[in-house]
Amino acid sequence: MTAVRCIDLCKTYHQGDVDIHALDHLSVEIDEGEFVCLSSPSGGGKTTLLNAIGGLDKPDSGEVYIGDQRIDNLSKGELADLRLRQIGFVFQAYNLIPVLTARENVEFVMQVQGVPAADRRGKALEILDEVGLAGMGDRRPAEMSGGQQQRVAVARAIVSRPKLVLADEPTANLDSKTSDELMGLFTELNEHHRTTFIIATHDQRVMRYARRLIRMLDGRIVEDIQQSAS
């Protein structure tokens, strides 16, 4: 089954007199259960592609499908609902709510989804345990290390068991040991739950974990290879 399909995507940004082609007639398919890294130099298009797949940014032209559903023509409300229920996001900056505890941050998505309070608490604690944060549910982000905050962000992204997780430079603020731990967690989730991962990164350490590496340059795919994850 196809998890993501992009057809002839174009996206151009205008900076003064210069046109930057972030996506230049790009097409790609990613199957369910794949573990994919998007790699490019800065400005090469990897984040723009990730944002198009996640419905955070619309291409100028072309089509984007999540499963069988075309999403590039959806309204803002429809896209918000799609992201809420089908896609997990992990960002470089964690994007945790500082006044909430780890558990409350994880519960937040479920609260918006309408999950009853009693169910939210149990699921949040269970997923925090799964990502290695057992007993830390009452800590606020400021009381946690960068690696622990990123694990909370991962827990929030996967608590509803989305079929697709999109991660944009998830290791950028982490040391090498914590980066390896995070990628090990992603790999485990991919293998045990068949979660599809698409990770935009320029980190060579992250690329080693990918079973499919898509290299981009100037908005185009220049290399698409299968590899053995290390």
User: pLDDT digit string (tens) for 62-117?
Assistant: 999 999 999 999 999 999 999 988 999 998 878 899 999 999 999 998 998 899 98
For the chain, the structural domain boundaries read: 2-96+162-226
pLDDT of residue 224: 96
The DSSP bridge pattern shows strands 35-39 and 212-217 to be: parallel
Alpha helices in the chain (DSSP H): 46-53, 76-86, 102-113, 117-130, 146-158, 176-193, 204-207
Which helix (H) or strand (E) segment holds residue 201: the answer is strand 196-201
Rounded CA separation 68/109 (Å): 24
> Which residues, 6+ apart, have CB-to-CB distance to 68 below 8 Å?
none
Residues 119-170 have pLDDT tens digits of 999 999 999 998 889 999 999 999 999 889 988 998 999 888 888 999 999 8
Cα-based distances in Å from 31 to 6, 62, 194, 221? 12, 19, 11, 17
Going by C-alpha positions, the residue among 46, 12, 17 that lies closest to residue 167 is 46
Q: What is the mean pLDDT of the chain?
A: 92
Cα-based distances in Å from 217 to 37, 43, 48? 14, 8, 12
Q: Does 29 have pLDDT greater than 90? A: yes
One-letter amino acid of 201: T
pLDDT of residue 16: 81
7 is written with which tokens?
């057809």
Please answer whether residues 34 and 196 qualify as being in contact, where contact means their C-beta atoms are separated by less than 8 angstroms.
Answer: yes
Rounded CA separation 71/60 (Å): 13
Any idea which architecture 2-96+162-226 has in CATH? Answer: 3-Layer(aba) Sandwich (3.40)
User: What value does the mean pLDDT take over residues 192-217?
Assistant: 93
pLDDT of residue 130: 85
